[in-house]
Amino acid sequence: MVQVRLWILANLAPKNIIPEIEKMISGFWNCRGIGKRGMGTYISDLVRDFKLEFIGIQETMKKDFSPKFLRKIDPGEIFSWRWIPSKGKSGGISGGFRNNVFDLVNCVEGKYLMNFELWNKILKMKCCIMVVYGSAHEEFKTDFLTELAATCSHITYPYIVGGDFNILRFVGEKNKKVKLGHSSDLFNSIINALSLREVDMAGGMFTWSNNQHNPTLEKLDRVFMSKSWEHLFPFTFVRKIVREMSDHCPLILNTDDNVPINFGKREFRFDLNWLNKPDFHTVVAKIWMQPVYSDNPIDILNIKLKRFKKYFKGWASSNFGHARKRRKWLREELGRIEELQENGVLNRELYCKKVEMQVELNGLLLEEEVAWMQKSHDSWLLKGDSNTKYFHRIVNGRRRINTIVSLSCGNMIIEGNKNMLKHATDFYKELFGPAPGNLCNIYEDMWCDKEKLGDVENFLLIRPFSDTKVKNALFSMKHNKAPGPDNIPIEFFQSCWYIVKGDVMPLFHWFHENKLDVERLNYGIITLLPKVVGADKMQQFRPICLLRCIYKLITKVLTIRLEPHVDILFSRHQNAFIKNRDIMDGIMSLHEILHHTYAQKKIGIVLKLDFEKAYDKVNSDFLLECHTKRNFNPRWIEWIRRILVGGTVSVKLNDEVGEYFQSAKGVRQGDPLSPFLFNLAADCLTKMVLKAQDNGLFTGLAADLVENGVAILQYADDTILCFEDNIKNALNIKLLLYLFEIMSGLKINFVKSEIFSVGADDDIMRKYADMFNCEIGTFPIKYLGMPVSYAGLKCSDWFFVDDKFISHGESWISESLSSGGRLIKVNVVLSHIPSYYMSMALLKKSTLEKWDKPRRKFFWYRKGRRGYNMVKWSRVCRSKTKGGLGVKDLRKQNISLLTKWWWKLEKKEGLWQDIVKAKYLQRTSVAKVKQKVSDSPCWKNIMKVKEYYMAGRGVVLKKGNIASLWLDDLGENFLLKDKYPDLFEICLDKDCTVDKLESMNHLTSFRRRLSPAMLQNWENMKQLVLDKICADQNDEVYWKLDNSGVYSTKSMYRWLERNLAGAHYKWIWGAKIPLKIQIFLWQLF
């Protein structure tokens, strides 16, 4: 087996020798006519340059291939060729394979495909390579997909399918708006049914272009691999080649990722399984107690960590190195004991031995799963449900995505690890290099006194660090995150805190006194994560800096100290990384002001800004100046200066680490303090905009709702500017943005920015687009991943969510998981995909049903056959206490998420609350407000769930300014409308608040005169209520459905399920058995 040979090479090869590992290289290309001039030379060059062993060519437009013609494309006659003739001047497929690599076993020729069954002479194995050319006409796509499915279903060997499919899988596979049709759904269904996995493509996202000035780009060409192919060649990848002589790009498939195997010194790796070993902490304590002769806390910690790593390299080999052999031996021994048991009852000694061996085997399996989970960085671990197969495939897929095959710089292609690493290092050296000196500064009175820190706040920021606070910060840090350059994860410090605390706290004491050499801790490795599919330019990678955990602990403590003061430091226009502020607040605010502008028939301009490498370009001197102007204590400013200046980084590319260099600007993604530092810089832009509004330089939108109107909305660097139609004012905005660029070091990429309008014609928009040098966008705006418009959203506006379900619910994932794994995947991943979008809109039943389908299909997946629903899906979507599996019912979840807006409206303050209160609640209250035709679509959705909110809303009666007289429980565990129904029936104002009771008269407050009995009831009711009123305090709203008195979607969801009947099955869910067995028992009962 290839896997065995790879293992032998990786483990037994001599040191510093890199062996030749067999690989298969294939090419697929739609040439748009193989008979064109120069085509023969181009194809022969393609074969020679990429050492192709197989090539599949589509749309040859040729009926026959004479030996003379074949010599043009294969001068050395080293290939054997087969082909399907074209029909006139369209279609045609040909395929060729190297004679010294392959023998042809069989070739199946269809209408739209050719399947080559080959024997690989080098690898000694059979495989299949299929070349497809799908019809470009919609009416023939079903025939093509039917033939594809039928052919693939009969293949029993590892195989790949490549070529021009002429079908889009996802909305994002076209650079312009597109509505996917039936063929896309059928295509994805077939891919899932066949358990095929699309091979990740490097070099770009799109493979076809119409070559116009404003081109249409699509991904039509792709390669799929079967599960058995991925098992044999886990590092298979596809690379897109520059488009020449055709409107399609050639695709090169390689089964080797070209990353050389390092047989030199092994790097230390911390294994999370060590923490579960009984003697781990004893060994660590023994190492830690050894003396270190130094007074510097950094030296002491570094020496002890070095000893720890040196010892545990050997300890790991002796304790974990033979786990696979041990598992094999345990299985054999258990099998022998099982045979003995069949012949009679085991004696006590053998029985105890069997139990011990089963426990040990389960432990070894869990250790392997934890190890692969750690490599995969998947955040959910299925305890008691072995999923190493799933984690294996996740690791392989992640490696394929993150492996960089080539980089482009202008017209130049850079290949080879050393060349790419040098290019990446040079790029970041320039990016993080010294910033130009400030040409202008922040003026003294930019922020008023209430926006600056006072003596009390500064005292709290710079007070000495306590053991308790440091420990709390340590244990609040997330698990299973990639460690820094020393490869010591945060789990080590958390698990061994009582051992290492004595050497960690001196670091904080020295840091507090400005004696700590922070530079010795402040270094990291930049890992490059692609932001887009097929990233090949440095700008398309997100640089995540992996820092030492001990350094991150210091910045985490500082971050926690800053949190109580964020309301002073950050404007309500900023919602990123701030407690009690929500990403949705800005989205809902934008929707309301757009709708208000549209309803008022005014012209509004919206500018969506794109900051270029925002975190990496912010000027350190500017950040320190922001601290000074906000009245931070000099000691705190010195701490921040030490963190910002003097850090060193290196770039890691394809597991190779480059040289370290000093970073002079930017805040690093991966540092807990970075979001707050960036927000401090971004708040300067907000303040400049607000000051410009105060001085009449321009006016924001909805000025009749909010003073001066809403002009800016921010979520970190995602910035929206809103202003009224006025060219002069727009020039002021552009000048303001340029000034901010000069001061902060940030650069706005106007080419990628977009400008939108409400009510403006094309001529007006062209003027603004030319002024800002940006594109004209169309509604809905995609802001923070959410479609936002002044009008209601259509079903088609949610199509992009379908892509997320497809990518997270592919059949290869289902196949790799047991029923228990699939249930957790549904709950943790698939059910959370729509939650973000359901926080904004009450979605239509058809949309929710469409999103339910992939969840249902994923859970009931059955390999090789149709997955029947064994239990009604509505039963599955019940809480376990109601007889279900705990899968969220999307309709109930949608209502629970939307209802939260009522709670935020009454209990919290913010920009959205101010807009809504001015727009809908000026002359009424939450209890009284009614839906109107003129309401915005989002507010109409919120109004539709008001009844659910009112059912759980409670009011603590004080002076009666909020509590409804008739509709709220006033502390007697009943409603007055129920106790006095005759009075309520004829009352003129059924929504009145309690404080109106004193002014109410029995002669004027009812539709008719009261009878003596009713009058007596009226007097009794008045006395009952007036005795409870406390005149000097406002009423308080609380949430009746949760013991904390605070709204939660969980409590609302639980209330919506209150009328469902069903058994709890405590005996199933409480049993200590694997989840898949629990699900099986649940199905039975």
Please tell me the number of Cα atoms within 13 Å of 723 on its side-chain side. Answer: 23
Split at pLDDT 50, 70, 90, the class of 550 is very high
**What average pLDDT does range 32-58 have in this prediction?**
87
939 or 317: which carries more pLDDT confidence?
Answer: 939
Same domain, 160 and 248: yes
pLDDT of residue 92: 92
Helix (H, G, I), strand (E, B) or coil at 961: coil
pLDDT tens digits, one per residue of 759-771:
888 899 999 999 9
What percentage of the chain has pLDDT greater than the value 70? 89
**Residue 560: left if φ>0, alpha if ψ -120 to 50, beta else—which one?**
alpha
Calculate mean pLDDT across residues 890-896.
95
Q: Is the pLDDT of residue 1 over 50?
A: no
Q: Examine the domain organization and report whether 75 and 105 are in the same domain.
A: yes
The secondary structure of 112-177 as a DSSP string is: SEEEEEEEETTTTEEEEEEEEE--SSHHHHHHHHHHHHHHHHT--S-EEEEEE----SSGGGBSS-
Same domain, 162 and 31: yes
CATH number at residue 155: 3.60.10.10
Output the six-digit token pair for 125. 């194995």
Instruction: Kindly tell me if the per-residue pLDDT of 948 is higher than 60.
Output: yes
Residue 398: band (very low, low, confident or very high) from pLDDT cuts 50, 70, 90: low
- Determine, yes or no, domain membership for 390: yes
Residue 437 scores a pLDDT above 90: no
- pLDDT level of residue 381 (50, 70, 90 thresholds): very low
**Residue 557 falls within a domain, yes or no?**
no
Same domain, yes or no: 145 and 293: no
Residue 387 lies in a domain: yes
> 316 and 351: one domain?
yes
Provide the pLDDT for residue 318: 53
pLDDT surpasses 80 at 481: no
Residue 2 binned pLDDT confidence (cut-offs 50, 70, 90): very low
Residue 326 clears pLDDT 70, i.e. is over it? no
Find the domain containing 859 and state its range: 795-889+1061-1069
Distances (CA, A) of 65 to 82, 83, 104, 468: 9, 8, 19, 80
Contact 743, 437 (CB under 8 A): no
- Do 310 and 379 lie in one domain? The reply is yes
Flag the least confident range among 62-66, 333-337, 796-800, 901-905: 333-337
Tell me, yes or no, whether 190 lies in a domain: yes
Higher pLDDT, residue 82 or 996: 82
What is the edge-to-edge ordering of all strands in the sheet holding 604-609?
712-715, 718-724, 604-609, 754-758, 775-776
C-alpha separations of 1036 from 9, 955, 956, 1045 in Å: 71, 6, 5, 11
The pLDDT value recorded for residue 160 is: 94
Residue 660 covered by a domain: no
Instruction: Name the residue with higher pLDDT: 314 or 181.
Output: 181
pLDDT at 118 over 50: yes
* Residue-wise pLDDT tens digits, 620-650: 999 999 999 999 999 999 999 999 887 889 9
Q: How far apart are CA 552 and CA 673, in angstroms?
A: 8
The conformation of residue 826, written as its DSSP 8-state character, comes to I
Q: Is 799 within the bounds of a domain?
A: yes
Of 50-59, 540-549, 633-642, which gets the smallest average pLDDT?
Answer: 540-549
Cα–Cα distance between 547 and 1060 in angstroms, integer? 50
Element (H, E) at 807: helix 799-808
pLDDT of 680: 93
Final residue of a structural domain among 344, 374, 400: 400
Question: Would you state the pLDDT for residue 688?
Answer: 93
Residues whose CB is less than 8 angstroms from the CB of residue 900 and which lie 6 or more positions away in sequence, other chains included: 839, 1047, 1049, 1052
Q: What pLDDT, on a 0 to 100 scale, did the predictor assign at position 679?
A: 93
What is the per-residue pLDDT for 3? Answer: 42
Same domain, 800 and 875: yes
**pLDDT tens for each residue of 79-114:** 999 999 988 778 899 999 999 899 999 999 999 999
Mean pLDDT value of segment 503-507: 94
Q: Which pLDDT does position 362 carry in this prediction?
A: 67
Residues 843, 809 within the same domain: yes
Q: How many angstroms separate the first and last alpha carbons of the chain?
A: 45
Whether 811 contacts 191, CB under 8 Å? yes
Is residue 336 predicted with pLDDT exceeding 90?
A: no
Looking at the chain, the whole-number percentage of residues with pLDDT higher than 90 is 39
Q: For position 814, what pLDDT does the model report?
A: 72
Residue-wise pLDDT tens digits, 553-607:
999 999 999 999 999 999 999 998 888 888 999 999 999 999 999 999 999 999 9
Predicted confidence (pLDDT) at residue 210 exceeds the cutoff of 90: no
**C-beta separation of 68 from 90 below 8 A:** no
Q: pLDDT at position 7, please?
A: 38
Same-domain pairing of 283 and 343 = yes
Q: How far apart are CA 90 and CA 37, in angstroms?
A: 18
Domain assignment present for residue 702? The answer is: no
Number of structural domains the chain divides into: 3
The predicted pLDDT at position 563 comes to 92
Contact between residue 968 and residue 955 where contact means Cβ atoms under 8 Å apart: yes
Which pLDDT belongs to residue 9? Answer: 37
Binned at pLDDT 50, 70 and 90, residue 370 comes out as low
**Can you state the angle between helices 890-907 and 845-859, rounded to 10 degrees?**
120
pLDDT band at 394 (very low <50, low <70, confident <90, very high): low
C-alpha 887/C-alpha 877 separation (Å) is: 5
Q: What pLDDT digit, counting tens, does each position of 695-748 carry? A: 989 899 999 999 889 999 999 989 999 999 999 989 999 999 999 999 998 999
HSE-CB of 1033 using CA atoms within 13 angstroms = 10
Q: CA angle, 206 as apex, 205 and 209 as ends, to 5°?
A: 155
Identify the residue whose tokens are 């290949």: 415
Taking the C-alpha atoms of residue 801 and residue 808, their distance in angstroms, rounded to an integer, is 11
d(C-alpha 587, C-alpha 32), whole Å:
46
- Which pLDDT value is given to residue 405? 77
Task: Measure the CA–CA gap between 519 and 554, rounded to whole angstroms.
Answer: 13
- Cα–Cα distance between 401 and 404 in angstroms, integer? 8
Single pTM value for the model: 0.80
Q: Clarify whether residues 388 and 280 are in a common domain.
A: yes
DSSP codes, 189-233: HHHHHTT-EEPPEES-S--EE---SS--EE--EEEEE-HHHHHH-
Specify whether the CB–CB gap between 180 and 230 falls below 8 A. Answer: no
| Residue 244 sits in the same domain as residue 309 | no
d(C-alpha 552, C-alpha 671), whole Å: 6
HEC profile of 260-309: CCCCCCCCCCCCHHHHHCCCHHHHHHHHHCCCCCCCCHHHHHHHHHHHHH
Residue 379's pLDDT band (boundaries 50, 70, 90)? Answer: very low
- Express each pLDDT in 446-458 by its tens digit: 899 899 999 999 9
Interval 324-336 mean pLDDT: 68
In tens, the pLDDT along 262-304 reads 434 456 778 777 787 778 899 899 999 998 888 899 999 999 9
pLDDT beyond 90 at 896: yes
Are residues 278 and 237 part of one domain? no
Residue 798 has pLDDT above 50, yes or no: yes
**pLDDT higher at 336 or 941:** 941
Q: How confident is the model at residue 867 (pLDDT cuts 50, 70, 90)?
A: low
The CA radius of gyration of the chain, in Å to the nearest whole number, is: 33
Q: For the chain, give the mean pLDDT.
A: 85
Tokens encoding 781:
């705006």
Q: Which is more confidently placed, 164 or 398?
A: 164
Highest mean pLDDT among 70-84, 245-259, 929-943: 929-943
233 against 88, higher pLDDT: 233
Residue that terminates a domain, selected from 354, 378, 400: 400
Question: Which tops the pLDDT comparison, 1015 or 808?
Answer: 1015
Classify residue 574: in a domain, yes or no.
no
Determine how many CB atoms are found less than 10 A away from the CB of residue 720. Answer: 25
